Amino acid sequence: MTSEYSAQVDYTGISKVYDSYRSYTDDVIKKIIDLGRIGPGKKVLDLGCGTGNISYQIKNTVNTDMVGIDVSPDMLKMARSKSLEVVLADIDNQQLPFHDGSLDAVVAAYVIHQIKNLKFMLSECYRVLRNGVLILLTSSHKQIEDQHPIIKDFFPGYVNIDKGRFPDIDRIDSVLESLSFKDITHQEVTVSKIPIDEEYLEKVRNKYVSTYHLMPRSEFENGIARLEDFVQKSGQPEFRDWHATIITGLKEE
């Protein structure tokens, strides 16, 4: 199933700024490690690894064997600079390049909204796992609606774009259950507290998340103008929590 918002995004430009803006708190990394049963010597796939931030954080926390996979050569170039093992592949259109039952965990952080064939991708995760855990980090539709109330004021189309892209939790659960994943769990986490300040304004100007690339140019430019005015008048940053959901599914034979 695809949506009107599943247009391709060119990650050549995003890769230049993504590495500076997308990372996760130590608490979130520890939660992923604990829920994924990730320990020393485990073989772990970072699905849609981008510039390798989450792989790097997990590997530095637990001496595990990480491998990343992504469709963007520019993203992977950044990941390789961190001495990470990476594979270039389009996971929407081909099988994962791993043998059946060869991995202990699969981590997919903010990836599934980019996938057109969700069931195929998750079935591939099931195939390559051996008695291991799939860990998905994503946003529910409620979290999208609640996230950054300020963004809804300045970029009114933002919420509908992301709700059109992100499968809601019930749909993800249904697919996982149909593939025989067991012990499906959800945990809400706070990814970060984001200050709405000059630094944040610069991130938005650089379209640091793909949603901004899908907006009409006029809406984006008008939103930037209003955001600039807000930041200049506020005097000190206002903070907004970025909430996410970790979904886990167990393959156990």
Single out the residue of 182, 184, 185 nearest to residue 252, CA to CA.
182
- What total of structural domains would you count in the chain? 1
Q: Chain centroid to CA 122: how far?
A: 15
User: At 64, phi and psi to the nearest 5?
Assistant: -115, 170
Taking only the tens place, the pLDDT of each residue in 172-223 is 999 999 999 999 999 999 887 788 889 889 888 988 888 888 999 999 999 9
Give the single-character DSSP code of 211: G
Taking only the tens place, the pLDDT of each residue in 95-137 is 999 999 999 999 999 999 989 899 999 999 999 999 999 999 9
- What share of the chain in percent tops pLDDT 90? 58
The answer to whether residue 225 is domain-embedded is no
Q: Which residue has the higher pLDDT, 53 or 8?
A: 53
What is the residue whose two structure tokens read 């530095």? Answer: 60
The answer to whether residue 145 is domain-embedded is no
Q: Which residue has the higher pLDDT, 152 or 167?
A: 167
Q: What is the pLDDT of residue 192?
A: 79
The answer to whether residue 236 is domain-embedded is no
The answer to whether residue 216 is domain-embedded is no
The answer to whether residue 109 is domain-embedded is yes
Taking only the tens place, the pLDDT of each residue in 234-243 is 878 778 788 8
Q: Which range, 28-32, 75-79, 89-93, has the best average confidence (pLDDT)?
A: 28-32
The answer to whether residue 39 is domain-embedded is yes
**CATH number for position 85:** 3.40.50.150
Rounded-to-integer distance, Cα 52 and Cα 23, Å: 10
The answer to whether residue 49 is domain-embedded is yes
Sheet holding 182-196, edge to edge: 85-88, 65-70, 43-47, 103-109, 129-138, 238-250, 182-196
Q: What is the pLDDT of residue 150?
A: 62
The answer to whether residue 199 is domain-embedded is no
| Full residue range of the structural domain in which residue 81 is found | 11-139+165-193+242-250
Average the pLDDT over 46-58 and give the result. Answer: 93
Average pLDDT for the chain: 87
